[in-house]
């Protein structure tokens, strides 16, 4: 059988298919999906039988999110097949279960209405109980009211019995009030639950994208068509496991970097049994670098002289103003002493589009997920493992004794040259124990990076203040001084030689007459570390049970008539 490749057309290509072309509805299925950090490209396959002549193949099952400009159609056939154009339009398709959904919606609305009525009854019960308690409280005050003088002696009141009745009634009213409040809360919860179910009911109509492909076949034939399009509501992000084995005296350290991906999509169509690929490209960002505009510097122009304001004309006599009004020259506002506002035409300016931020994607890689997978359109996260890399790390120790008298273990790793690493969270394990989390930046293949693996108890660090005093020097022109000296001790209990870095800092003068002098033994091996002024570092190696002592300090001198501050 001879296969002829059809011409590929896009949804924004040629228009106007044959007016009398017969419609053929095609059923397509998702075969492959390529997910980008933002968005995805879907590939659908369809097998269709065509008669000779002009025909319009209709694909009614693409999602509403399909980007029209991204739709491409191509195919192969057993005979000559030409694609004339590809058109798209938005459809609202009635759901097959629309009647059931309408009934369910009506049922929920009726239940919510009934619960609102029930709540009103409970609210009335609470109000009645509050009124009853108020009345009983007023009755309890009657014994304090002096009796009114009357001619005949009134019957004696049994206040003990009255107060007992008031107490019993008060308790019953309180019980009814609390019971009503509890029932109101329960009713509110049920109303909220039903309102959530009502909102969750899908709309009666589904919004879809219809693709119409105009084709011409020389003879009856079978064709395999491929439809590609992009959707925005899909994404994947990288996350990692870094498992460090520190080794022993005779066993070198090892690091296993496991790459994983979290995938989610809300495109409106399920990805069932699809071949899934993850790409690091970002098709939605700009393809060109931004352009710089010329920046000029000039003197501020002189302010123009103020225009003198003409003095107001003397008021017109009232009689003259009335005569002028009769002749049509004066308005009522002028007679009332006011003036109408004059409409000023605004100065029209050219509308300028707001520049978008452009993020360049310098690294590209595609990961093919093994097997065929299912990703539901609900936004739930699908986690897959991509690959594992075995890396031989270089271990080192860092400490900042001034802030924390602990040493921290670091592993320097060189990424394999197979692919780049996207930014993502990394879970850190040292000798099988979870020690914390970190984050990997965007790294190129073969690039170096260091990961921290928590405190290293096999390195002992001590930090002591040897001297901290303020004084003066000079007889004629007195100056003040701050002198501070420290002693740092680092000892290794490792079985192998370890590289150690000790960090500290000295003040940085912001004024010419403030002098800062460093004193250190040994001298720091690095100054202004990572372009941070005043930050110094000592780098050395410690053998097992070896100890390194660093004597470090500085002196600040400034004019005695001034005060300084450290910040």
Q: Residue 1's pLDDT band (boundaries 50, 70, 90)?
A: very low
Give residue 414's region: left, alpha or beta (phi > 0; psi -120 to 50): beta
| Residues contacting 186, CB < 8 A, separation 6+ | none
Phi, psi of 116, deg, nearest 5: -65, -40
- CA gap 148, 115 in Å, rounded: 52
Q: Cα–Cα distance between 147 and 143 in angstroms, integer? A: 9
What pLDDT, on a 0 to 100 scale, did the predictor assign at position 353? 27
Neighbours of 107 (CB within 10 A): 13
Same domain, yes or no, for 30 and 88? yes
Residues in the chain, total: 567
CB 65 within 8 A of CB 208: no
151 versus 508: the higher-pLDDT residue is: 508
* 8-59 tens-digit pLDDT: 444 444 444 444 567 888 889 999 999 999 999 999 999 988 888 888 889 8
In three-state secondary structure terms, 198 is helix
Flag whether pLDDT at 363 surpasses 50: no
Spacing of C-alpha 455 from chain mean position: 31
In the block, tokens 């304001």 appear at 309
Joined tokens for residue 535: 């930050």
Asked if 243 and 369 sit in the same domain, the reply is yes
Q: Are residues 446 and 483 both part of a single domain?
A: no
What is residue 331's DSSP assignment?
Answer: -
Question: Residue 179 and residue 333: Cα distance in Å, rounded?
Answer: 68
111 with 250, same domain?
A: no
Q: Percent of the chain, pLDDT > 90?
A: 34
pLDDT-based confidence at 356, cuts 50/70/90? very low
Split at pLDDT 50, 70, 90, the class of 340 is very low
> Cis link prior to 295 (omega < 30° from 0)?
no
What pLDDT is stored for residue 315 in this prediction? Answer: 53
DSSP 330: S
Measured CA to CA in angstroms, residue 23 lies from 17, 215, 286, 292, 331 at distances of 11, 10, 39, 52, 72
Residues 106 and 191 in one domain: yes
| 419 & 405 share domain | yes
Task: Indicate whether 185 belongs to any domain.
Answer: yes
Calculate the alpha carbon distances from 212 to 32, 187, 221, 226 in Å.
21, 52, 19, 13
Q: What is the pTM of this model?
A: 0.60
Q: How confident is the model at residue 207 (pLDDT cuts 50, 70, 90)?
A: confident
Angle, helices 159-200 vs 98-140, to 10°: value is 160
Contact 28, 223 (CB under 8 A): no
Look at residue 293 and tell me if it is in a domain.
no
Residue 335 lies in a domain: no
Q: In this structure, is residue 151 part of a structural domain?
A: no
Cα distance between residue 184 and residue 200, in whole Å? 24
Specify whether 274 is located in the same domain as 390.
yes
| Mean pLDDT, residues 205-229 | 86
Res. 350: pLDDT tops 60: no
Q: How many CB atoms lie within 10 A of CB 217?
A: 18
The total of structural domains in the chain comes to: 4
**pLDDT by residue (tens digit) across 130-172?**
888 787 777 766 666 566 555 555 565 665 666 667 777 778 8
Q: Is the pLDDT reported for residue 177 higher than 60?
A: yes
Could you tell me if 222 and 112 lie in one domain? no
* pLDDT score for 291: 82
Range picked from 99-108, 284-293, 409-418 for highest mean pLDDT: 409-418
Q: Let me know whether 255 and 123 are in one domain.
A: no
Under the banding of pLDDT at 50, 70 and 90, the label for residue 425 is very high
DSSP class of residue 275 equals E
Query: Closest Cα to residue 369, out of 27, 28, 40?
Result: 40
78 plus 213 within the same structural domain: yes
Contact 353, 372 (CB under 8 A): no
In a domain, 211, yes or no: yes
**DSSP state for residue 421 in the 8-state scheme:** B
- 369 and 387 in a single domain? The answer is yes
Residue 205 clears pLDDT 70, i.e. is over it? no
Closest CA to 268 of 212, 199, 206: 206
**Are 269 and 263 within 8 A, CB to CB?**
no
Tokens standing for 189?
């919860």
108: its two tokens: 């929920």
- Structural domain contains residue 351: no
Look at 156 and 66; give whichever has higher pLDDT: 66
Q: pLDDT value at position 316?
A: 52
Q: pLDDT over 70 for what percent of the chain? A: 77
- The answer to the question of residue 305 being in a domain is no
DSSP state of 69: G
Q: Mean pLDDT over residues 331-352, rounded?
A: 44
Residue 250: band (very low, low, confident or very high) from pLDDT cuts 50, 70, 90: confident
Digit-coded pLDDT (tens) for 383-415: 988 888 888 999 999 999 999 999 999 999 888
**Is 480 domain-assigned?**
yes
Domain boundary among 455, 478, 498: 455
> Taking all residues of the chain, what is their mean pLDDT, rounded to a whole number?
80
Q: Is 521 found in the same domain as 375?
A: no
d(CA 205, CA 400): 63
Query: What mean pLDDT do residues 294-314 have?
Result: 66
Of 415-429, 502-516, 536-550, least confident by mean pLDDT is 415-429
Lowest mean pLDDT among 359-373, 508-522, 540-554: 359-373
Domain containing 375 equals: 237-282+363-455
CA-CA-CA-CA torsion sign (359, 364, 367, 373): positive
């Amino acid at each position: 059988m001879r296969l002829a490749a059809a011409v590929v057309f896009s949804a924004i290509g040629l228009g106007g298919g044959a007016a009398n072309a017969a419609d053929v509805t095609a059923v397509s299925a998702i075969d492959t999906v390529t997910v980008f950090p933002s968005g995805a490209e879907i590939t659908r396959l369809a097998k269709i039988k065509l008669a000779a002549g002009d025909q319009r193949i209709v694909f009614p099952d693409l999602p509403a999110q399909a980007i029209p400009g991204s739709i491409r159609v191509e195919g192969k056939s057993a005979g000559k097949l030409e694609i004339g154009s590809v058109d798209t339009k938005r459809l609202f398709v009635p759901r097959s279960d629309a009647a059931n959904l309408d009934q369910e919606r009506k049922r929920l609305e009726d239940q919510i209405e009934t619960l609102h009525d029930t709540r009103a009854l409970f609210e009335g019960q609470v109000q009645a109980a509050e009124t009853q308690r108020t009345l009983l409280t007023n009755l309890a005050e009657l014994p304090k009211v002096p009796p009114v003088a009357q001619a005949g002696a009134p019957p004696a009141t049994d206040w003990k019995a009255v107060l007992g009745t008031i107490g019993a009634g008060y308790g019953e009213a309180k019980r009814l009030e609390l019971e009503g409040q509890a029932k109101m809360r329960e009713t509110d919860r049920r109303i909220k639950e039903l309102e959530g179910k009502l909102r969750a009911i899908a709309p009666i109509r589904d919004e879809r994208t219809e693709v119409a492909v105009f084709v011409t076949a020389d003879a009856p034939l079978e064709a395999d068509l491929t439809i590609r399009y992009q959707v925005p509501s899909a994404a994947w992000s990288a996350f990692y496991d870094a498992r460090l084995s520190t080794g022993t005296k005779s066993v070198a350290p090892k690091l296993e970097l496991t790459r994983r991906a979290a995938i989610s999509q809300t495109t409106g169509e399920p990805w069932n049994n699809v071949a899934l690929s993850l790409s690091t490209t970002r098709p939605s960002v700009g393809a060109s670098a931004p352009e710089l505009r010329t920046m000029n510097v000039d003197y501020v122009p002189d302010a123009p002289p103020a225009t003198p304001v003409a003095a107001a004309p003397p008021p017109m006599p009232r009689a003259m103003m009335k005569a002028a009004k009769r002749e049509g020259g004066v308005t009522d506002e002028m007679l009332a002493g006011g003036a109408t506002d004059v409409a000023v035409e605004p100065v029209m300016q050219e509308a300028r589009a707001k520049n978008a931020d452009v993020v360049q994607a310098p690294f590209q890689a595609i990961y093919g997920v093994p097997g065929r997978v299912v990703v539901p359109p609900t936004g739930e996260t699908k986690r897959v493992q991509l690959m594992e890399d075995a890396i031989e790390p270089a271990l080192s120790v860092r400490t900042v004794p001034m802030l924390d008298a602990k040493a921290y273990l670091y592993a320097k790793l060189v990424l394999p040259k197979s692919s780049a690493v996207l930014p993502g969270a990394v879970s850190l394990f040292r000798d099988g124990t979870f020690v914390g989390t970190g984050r990997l930046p965007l790294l190129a293949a073969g690039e170096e990076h260091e990961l921290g693996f928590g405190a290293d108890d096999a390195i002992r660090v001590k930090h002591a203040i040897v001297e901290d005093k303020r004084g003066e020097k000079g007889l004629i022109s007195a100056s003040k001084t701050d002198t501070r000296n420290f002693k740092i001790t680092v000892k290794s209990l490792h079985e192998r030689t370890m590289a150690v870095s000790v960090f500290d800092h000295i003040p940085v003068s912001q004024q010419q007459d403030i002098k800062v002098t460093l004193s250190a033994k040994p001298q720091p091996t690095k100054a202004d570390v990572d372009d941070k002024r005043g930050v110094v570092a000592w780098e050395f190696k410690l053998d097992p049970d070896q100890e390194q002592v660093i004597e470090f300090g500085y002196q600040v001198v400034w004019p005695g008539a001034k005060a300084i501050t450290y910040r």
